[in-house]
Amino acid sequence: MRSAIVGNETAYRKLLDDLSRVLRKPVRRELGGLEALGKDVEDVVQDILLAIHLKRHTWNSSMSLTSWVTAVARNKIIDKLRRRRRRPEIALDLSDFEAEDQHASIDS
């Protein structure tokens, strides 16, 4: 991270690649183990990496990078779990409606 902050793009890319591999397992575990959808896991990992990217200037080099990343990851996992509970996914099937009925109700 120190090299990345001073502009070493190769080091930064390696850091993000390494973090993405390391983060998948704990994210999957916290989202519900094997029941966690791969897409959800990847979404959270990407959210974590984006937060790290946007807030990397806030990392204090005298503190452990692992502790800082863990705090960011924990917050993003909590955000995902909150969204999951507040917005249940509902399969909405509108195939029973006729095209004319759709236009009539939209226009009125």
Task: Report whether pLDDT(54) > 90.
Answer: yes
Question: In the prediction, which pLDDT does 82 show?
Answer: 84
Q: What is the mean pLDDT of the chain?
A: 80
CA–CA gap between residue 105 and residue 48 (Å, rounded): 43
Cβ atoms 56, 65 nearer than 8 A:
no
Sequence-distant (6+) residues with CB within 8 A of 26 are 73
pTM here?
Answer: 0.72
CATH class of 2-107: mainly alpha
Q: What is the pLDDT of residues 17-37, one digit of tens each?
A: 999 999 998 898 888 765 556
Q: Which of 59, 51, 41, 57 is nearest to 16 (CA)?
A: 51
